[in-house]
Structure 1
Amino acid sequence: MSDMAKNLILWVVIAVVLMSVFQGYSPSSSTKQKMDYSTFLDNVKDGQVNTATVKSDQRTIEGTTRTGEKFVTVMPLPDLDLINELNRKGITFKGEEAEESGFLTQIFISWFPMLLLIGVWIFFMRQMQGGGGKGAMSFGKSKAKLMSEDQIKTTFGDVAGCDEAKEDVKELVDYLKEPTKFQKLGGRIPTGVLLVGPPGTGKTLLAKAIAGESKVPFFTISGSDFVEMFVGVGASRVRDMFEQAKKSAPCIIFIDEIDAVGRQRGAGVGGGHDEREQTLNQMLVEMDGFEGNEGIIVIAATNRPDVLDAALLRPGRFDRQVVVGLPDVRGREQILKVHMRKVPLADGVKASVIARGTPGFSGADLANLVNEAALFAARNSRRVVGMEEFESAKDKIMMGAERRTMVMSEEEKEMTAYHEAGHAIVGCLVPEHDPVHKVTIIPRGRALGVTFFLPEADAISQSRRKLESQISVAYGGRIAEDLIYGSEKVSTGASQDIKYATSIARNMVTQWGFSEKLGPVLYAEDENEVFLGRSMGKSQHMSDDTARVIDTEVKLLIDANYGRAHTFLTENMDILHSMKDALMKYETIDSNQISDLMARREVRMPAEWEKDLESDDSDNNDTSSEKTEEIKEVKEDKPDVNDVDESPAK
């Protein structure tokens, strides 16, 4: 029976008792008129009383008047002369026993407020003791949701792209299925497993797969569910959660975003008496205290392991840290195949090609990519999802959504084209830089134009030459504007480029040891904030002279790469004009067209344009001559670097 049904029955019983009490107490007074004793004596003297009945308590008198009305009166004191007066007036009178129920009823009525108070107190106590935290007053009960073994359908087959992490946690499944195998050799399964990794890499999905494979009860809760405004509630919920888990052992407790409650104690300001720290202390005790928690495995997930308390990470609590990192190209291919099962695919879709073009994507990003591609196909009334939709979805995620409704003047459009062409040309000429994949002057996101570079492989580390090339490419857009329009008309469009280049140069000098004058020494400031918990102030790591040398080295590094980009663009001014013309005409150019421009060849038409022209030509065979002339006209209008005016910049 549910708690709501129990509460309803309780209130119905209280209502029935009240009705019976009042009905049993009020009948005598509802049909008889109450009369003062002095009025009764006057009526007796006037002969208005017909009959009278004296109760055995000699205080209560009931009777009727000559008119037939019933009355009741109470003598304030025993009156022995009343009998003689009734005889003189010829009034019929008799005696009766007093009703015992009236006395009991009066006792019950007098005690009823106290009984009602006790009943209300019992009701609220039952609410506070309601299991699972479902009662109205169950502040201290755990909010963990219990999922039985039949409810979890996720298995390791649904988790892709993290083979190493799956191998680390498969031991948990084996232990939960066959614990004696490990106990025979004196082995002890880890009490807790901490899943660490960037957002969207599948930490929660991996925990569900562990529960689905091991077929045990699965308690899931978020770290924020423990903390409330009332001190002590979080600790009570931790105790209740582990008590419930002990009843269902062997089982798994999954705490998502544990950094919400497991941050370092004594962080910055404040003492150790706040609600969060009490909750953390209780969790430490429950995981590894005097009482053992045999058969309970705690799995927690976070993307901020650096802020967790050291006592939480020690062996005996979270014995093992499993890193769920970003997938490599093979992992991305596997993840894409998992998500592509849910959508109808065209014949030419290859997950391997998409995986190579999405470096740095997490599992959530890839799921979003497949979903966006399906939305593009539905928007275009397609029945299947093809590579074109996947390419559009990838561009939207990487470069931002197109803002074709944004109105740009021809002058702003031309300046944007020169700016993006400067990035692309320098990117093609500097060593070890990622290849240019696509250049567009269609506003995307918050940018007026985007030059997108696609790595050929997943980058693990970067060389000094590649970092310097990135600085040169970052300044390519600003240098192009300066060469074409002069320093007086340079726009603010390079603000993010300058910030990015300066950040790389400063890290090269202060963190990565790429300065010959300063050497391989760490000069970076301590950037730990107060809430991370180590100190309120920042310690000084360098002298003023050293800071001055750092600024000088950063400036020299930027000037050198700025000058290199300036030289490349000055020597290839014809390509800069040609790429601007191509961008003004097509708005977006791909790697094939960029290769044509850099080789000073005739620029090919975009693949989409060629496809549209071919489809139009096949649909209109009767007007093939007219369509041929249109194609010829379009091709003749394509920019050719040989026809570019090589006059000096204005």
Structure 2
Amino acid sequence: MNNFGRNLALWVIIIVLAVLLFLAFQPGGAQHASQQLAYSDFITDVDQDKVRSVVVQNHDITGTLKDGTSFETYAPADPNLIPRLTAKKIEVVAKPMEADGSPILRAITSWLPLVFLLGIGILFFRQMQSGNGRAMGFGKSRARLLTEKQGRVTFEDVAGIDEAKSELQEIVDFLKDPQKFTRLGGKIPKGALLVGPPGTGKTLLARAIAGEANVPFFTISGSDFVEMFVGVGASRVRDMFEQGKKSAPCIIFIDEIDAVGRHRGAGLGGGNDEREQTLNQMLVEMDGFESNEGVILIAATNRPDVLDPALLRPGRFDRQVVVPNPDVAGRERILRVHMRKVPLASDVDPKVIARGTPGFSGADLANLVNEAALLAARLGKRTVAMLEFDNAKDKVLMGAERRSLVMTDEEKRMTAYHEAGHAICALLTAGSDPIHKATIIPRGRALGMVQILPEGDRIAMSRMQIKAQLVLAMGGRAAEEIIFGADNVGTGASSDIKMATNYARRMITEWGMSEKLGMIAYGDNGQEVFLGHSVTQNKNVSEQTAREIDREIKQLIDAAYHHAHTLLLENIDALHRIAQALLEYETLSGDEVGKVLRGETFERVEVDDSAPENRRASVPTIRPEKGPETGGETDALTPSPQPG
């Protein structure tokens, strides 16, 4: 019987006992239906020959009148009562004096309070042992056994990480046929550490291993071990491995192991005694005197740099399986997995969606499919079309549209020129990625945006590509200064400046792209580093070197700004055309921006012909009026993924 059934039965018993206790102490029982009769009235009825029969029990008299009415009364010590009844030929029945109620009722009455209190105690005891308040099982493991109720996951449900699956296939083969490896003297790895960015499918991959091997799968989080009391975590580790031994062969999965496996002794003020004792117990259980054959430990983390070296040595986590973001082929397979339960229109092509989502993780792609399905449902459609996937991708990459935001004409005009400056620099700078979309519709925290996407998956970036990113970032501010003057530029370039500064600093301090400072990695002053048994401040950059770094950063950004400024002056007509097109249509695709730059016309074919963005478009040639204006905030650039 499950816990719900036991709790329900206990409550039923308690309620029944309470009802019996209430009834037991009710006086009179069924006698309340009889009529209470005064003794004088009873004597009058006897004299008038209205009484049919009576039952005499000590001083209590009950009986029935000739009209069928039952009565009861209490008689004093009257020696003439019985002769008077017999004289009237009334049926008289005499009963001896006995205690009230039956023996069963008396037993229930005497034992009922004790049973009731005992039931209440059992209920409280069970409640204390269940849930998060385990008073009697504080040191028990909180690992949960994953059953078929949660759904069986196999390698068919995991896509885009073929190399990781092939490495873990050996663990599956061992769990299915251990003799295949042991007869040649081989030992299966005791632990496998899944390392990768968030959302790449580490937990799903661990569930797939259990599903493929069809063995018990215990799951627990690293934070479930650590408590405020020292020794509790170590006790839970011992109990977890005891459960694993009883169910061997099995898999124990620890998610976010960095919560308990951090480097011992690191950090200001020493380490955490409870966490370090828990880690010590885990190290002993994984490779101590006692062997845990058949218990395979799998852990996941996105911070392998903070783990203790003893946890990663051979014999414990023998293998580190990297689970990276998928490439274009992997993204296509992941999309097909998530699209199984979504009714798709005929124009949906997962290959096109995969090419347009570089850098997306498995969780990002699942969110993309879900957003597209929700958008189609809001529109009342029965299938999800390619238009919904494009809109969902824009929402994921750039944020939700904020059409309710009220912008003045001057703010829209400055935003349009800001984005037009980005667009021209992206189209005419060597090494820049293609434009996916340009918009002046506020999305997320940005008032406008030019989104660029690389043509394929990018692993590294060249110096020319990084400098193109700097020119692209400076294009918005350069366009504002050209059109509105240096005194009227807005604050919309703040995110562009931050991005450009980050790129320039990394070029000099990390990527060795400065001729003056050379190929040396420079750290930041004040950065905390762990040396031996203490934490010290990083002082490997002198004040003079820091000034040289700042000077080099400024030179790179100034050069990019002058390049963008010159480029826009040489293409001032194209700048006006793109800005005017953005003001008229609000959103332009990459192909439409290219046509406007070349002076060509384009046509939009949409379902809603009444919308202004769906009309036949021709390249506007009207130049804006001259004069100072004030621009609003614009977050104008979505760069391609950063290298490194």
- Shared fold, TM over 0.5: yes
User: What is the match of residue 164 of structure 2?
Assistant: 165
SS of 2:243's equivalent in the other structure is helix
Aligned-pair CA distance for 1:518: 1.2
Distance 2:2 2:338 in 1: 40
Gap change, CA 1:576 and 1:151, over 3 Å in 2: closer
Contact 2:530 2:536 in 1 (8 A): no
Distance 1:271 1:456 in 2: 49
SS of 1:254's equivalent in the other structure is strand
Structure 1: 5+ residue stretches without partners: 17-67, 69-118, 618-629
Distance 2:336 2:365 in 1: 10
Write out per-residue CA displacement over residues 1-29 of structure 1, whole angstroms, 9 at most, x where no aligned residue: 6689599989x99xx9xxxxxxxxxxxxx
Are 2:341 and 1:335 aligned? no
Distance 1:322 1:424 in 2: 41
Contact 1:603 1:640 in 2 (8 A): no
Are 2:464 and 1:465 aligned? yes
Distance 1:648 1:533 in 2: 64
Contact 2:441 2:447 in 1 (8 A): yes
Gap change, CA 1:161 and 1:2, over 3 Å in 2: closer
User: What is the match of residue 606 of structure 1?
Assistant: 604
Write out per-residue CA displacement over residues 477-524 of structure 1, whole angstroms, 9 at most, x where no aligned residue: 011111111111111110111011011111111111111111111112
Are 2:348 and 1:349 aligned? yes
Contact 1:369 1:393 in 2 (8 A): yes
Gap change, CA 1:496 and 1:221, over 3 Å in 2: same
Gap change, CA 1:273 and 1:475, over 3 Å in 2: closer
Contact 2:580 2:620 in 1 (8 A): no
Aligned-pair CA distance for 1:539: 1.9
Are 2:483 and 1:484 aligned? yes
SS of 1:483's equivalent in the other structure is helix
Contact 1:437 1:454 in 2 (8 A): yes
User: What is the match of residue 366 of structure 1?
Assistant: 365
Larger CA deviation: 194-203 vs 227-236: 227-236
Aligned-pair CA distance for 1:275: 1.4
SS of 1:230's equivalent in the other structure is coil
Write out per-residue CA displacement over residues 281-329 of structure 1, whole angstroms, 9 at most, x where no aligned residue: 1111111111111000000011111111111111111000000000000
Structure 2: 5+ residue stretches without partners: 18-76, 78-118, 630-644
Contact 1:127 1:136 in 2 (8 A): no
Distance 1:160 1:439 in 2: 32
The RMSD of aligned alpha carbons is 3.6
Aligned-pair CA distance for 1:638: 3.4
Aligned-pair CA distance for 1:549: 1.6
Gap change, CA 1:123 and 1:402, over 3 Å in 2: closer
Contact 1:149 1:215 in 2 (8 A): no
User: What is the match of residue 571 of structure 2?
Assistant: 572
User: What is the match of residue 77 of structure 1?
Assistant: none
Aligned-pair CA distance for 1:421: 0.6
Contact 1:127 1:138 in 2 (8 A): no
Aligned-pair CA distance for 1:542: 2.0
Contact 1:203 1:301 in 2 (8 A): yes
Contact 1:131 1:141 in 2 (8 A): no
User: What is the match of residue 42 of structure 2?
Assistant: none
Distance 1:533 1:470 in 2: 40
User: What is the match of residue 455 of structure 1?
Assistant: 454
Aligned positions of 1:298-309 closer than 5 A: 298-309=297-308
Write out per-residue CA displacement over residues 410-439 of structure 1, whole angstroms, 9 at most, x where no aligned residue: 000000000011111001111111101110
2:619 corresponds, among 631, 634, 639, to 639
Distance 1:212 1:190 in 2: 19
Contact 2:577 2:597 in 1 (8 A): no
User: What is the match of residue 109 of structure 2?
Assistant: none
Contact 1:149 1:218 in 2 (8 A): no
Gap change, CA 1:528 and 1:196, over 3 Å in 2: farther
User: What is the match of residue 590 of structure 1?
Assistant: 589
Distance 1:270 1:573 in 2: 60
User: What is the match of residue 626 of structure 1?
Assistant: none
Gap change, CA 1:480 and 1:183, over 3 Å in 2: same
User: What is the match of residue 196 of structure 1?
Assistant: 195
Contact 1:196 1:303 in 2 (8 A): yes
Gap change, CA 1:639 and 1:534, over 3 Å in 2: farther
AA aligned to 2:600 is: E
Gap change, CA 1:634 and 1:179, over 3 Å in 2: closer
Gap change, CA 1:526 and 1:160, over 3 Å in 2: farther
Write out per-residue CA displacement over residues 169-213 of structure 1, whole angstroms, 9 at most, x where no aligned residue: 000000000000000111111100000001110000000000000
User: What is the match of residue 435 of structure 1?
Assistant: 434
AA aligned to 2:497 is: I
Aligned positions of 1:48-447 closer than 5 A: 135-148=134-147, 152-272=151-271, 274-447=273-446
User: What is the match of residue 102 of structure 1?
Assistant: none
Task: Between the two structures, name the one with larger relative contact order (CA 8 Å, sep ≥ 6).
Answer: 2
Contact 2:474 2:561 in 1 (8 A): yes
Identity of aligned residues (%): 62
Gap change, CA 1:414 and 1:242, over 3 Å in 2: same
Contact 1:574 1:646 in 2 (8 A): no
Gap change, CA 1:421 and 1:6, over 3 Å in 2: closer
SS of 2:608's equivalent in the other structure is helix
Distance 2:434 2:243 in 1: 56
Distance 2:431 2:169 in 1: 40
Contact 1:267 1:530 in 2 (8 A): no
Aligned-pair CA distance for 1:548: 1.7
